[in-house]
Amino acid sequence: MVIFKALRKLITILKSPVYTPYAYLILYLNGVKVRKGLRVRGFMNVHITRRGKVFIGENFNVNSGNKYNVIGRQQKTTLWAEGNLTIGNHVGMSSTAIICNHSISIGNHVTIGGNTVIYDTDFHSLDPILRTSGEDRQHAKKKPVIIKDNVFIGAHTTILKGVTIGNNAIIGACSVISKDIPDNEIWAGNPAHFIKSIEELK
């Protein structure tokens, strides 16, 4: 048992120096502008289309996939964009999927829990006739997502199109965010609803 644990630790140590340089490379090849301080554990999934524009600020910290997201659902962290995706400074995420068809903006000092997904599109038309046609995706509704500074997002949360999450907000685990959340409030649930203000925690 001791030998097994030692070998497991050794393999992790040997693999770790590869992840961040690989992330820099794959981000560069996708045309992503990244500032200093990137730190990645695991391999990311990055796909930026010719129309996509992505900027990532300083000290972006990512856990991605198997062994680096121990809370479960160990998917790779995914950045997919054909719109404008901006990630601020000192942002951390774990096995998160960000799908940007239009516009997603994430502020500074934002923490995004494991298996969170952020979508700025419905992906499909809500019209049943269009949904069965070849024009389905062209008619999907898209609206910007804005996540302001110092937001904490609990694990397994889904953030839908058109929402703004205010400064210092806290989102409980497994929430579905379908409408705006004001500054300094705690929300949770499906659909998410107001729980209490940050001031009540003091």
In sequence order, the 6+-apart residues with CB closer than 8 A to the CB of 160 are 119, 145, 176, 177, 178
**Residues carrying an active site annotation:** 124
Q: Which helix (H) or strand (E) holds 90?
A: none
Respond yes or no on whether the N-terminal peptide bond of residue 144 is cis (omega within 30° of 0): no
| Residue of 85, 89, 87, 104 whose CA lies nearest to 146 | 104
DSSP state of 1: -
Q: What type of residue sits at position 9?
A: K
Q: What is the CA radius of gyration of the chain?
A: 18
| Contact (CB, 8 A) for 104 and 144 | yes
